[in-house]
Amino acid sequence: MMTNVEVTRRIAAEYHTLLSRESIHAFAETLVCKKYKKGERILDEGDVCDCLRYIEKGLTRQFYFKYDKDLTEHIAYEGGMVICLESYLKGEPTRLMIETLEPTILWEIHKDKIEQLSDEYKDISLMYRLFFEYSLIESQVKADTLRFEPAHERYNKLLQLHPEILKRAPLVYIASLLQMTPETLSRVRSASLNG
């Protein structure tokens, strides 16, 4: 398991931010480590997402129910951040849920603490802003992929950008993430392997 300082350095590197020694220690002091077993719920529908969660180890899935159907919104793994963005920004209950797909170690930083640090340290403020920029870009890329690309291109983009998801997540969740049926996913995977 990593230390608070190591996690802080990893987060800063992920968002291409050079933090001062003072900022690293101030940020590290606010981190809280949480461990979850496979299948545990991290956030439930109706909860308010009040922290950013960095994944040190494991795999998580954000999902929701629509017409009694379980739909996967996002899958994250080591080095990723987990957040229900609208709930976090508005301070309102979320419709999304987050669960673990593997035993998972998360590091949480509460919204009030990171905002306080952002007021005090310019480099932390920059890192916090970059996190939102990266999140919004990733959301836009995903939305555009789902809107404009056929099934095989959606699969290939996931293979290119996040091969870990294809190696580790159950096929039913991958199919849902890519907005295709498990049968379509099987055909696309087969064509990709044979192509």
Mean pLDDT across the chain: 95
Q: How many domains does the chain have?
A: 2
Pairing mode of beta strands 51-57, 81-82: antiparallel
Q: Do 116 and 176 sit in the same domain of this protein?
A: no
Q: Do 110 and 14 sit in the same domain of this protein?
A: yes
Contacts of 40 (CB under 8 A, 6+ apart): 99, 100, 104
DSSP category for residue 93: B
Q: Do 99 and 163 sit in the same domain of this protein?
A: no
pTM for this predicted structure: 0.92
Q: How confident is the model at residue 195 (pLDDT cuts 50, 70, 90)?
A: low
CA distance 96 to 41: 11
Write the pLDDT tens digit of every residue in 10-57: 999 999 999 999 999 999 999 999 999 999 999 999 999 999 999 999
Q: Do 142 and 174 sit in the same domain of this protein?
A: no
pLDDT of residue 55: 98
Q: Which domain holds residue 67?
A: 4-148
Q: Do 153 and 103 sit in the same domain of this protein?
A: no
Write the pLDDT tens digit of every residue in 91-124: 999 999 999 999 999 999 999 999 999 999 999 9
Pairing mode of beta strands 59-66, 97-100: antiparallel
Q: How confident is the model at residue 192 (pLDDT cuts 50, 70, 90)?
A: confident
Kindly state the percentage of the chain with pLDDT values over 70.
99
pLDDT of residue 165: 96
Q: Do 41 and 112 sit in the same domain of this protein?
A: yes
Q: Do 12 and 66 sit in the same domain of this protein?
A: yes
The CATH number linked to 88 is 2.60.120.10
Q: Do 23 and 93 sit in the same domain of this protein?
A: yes
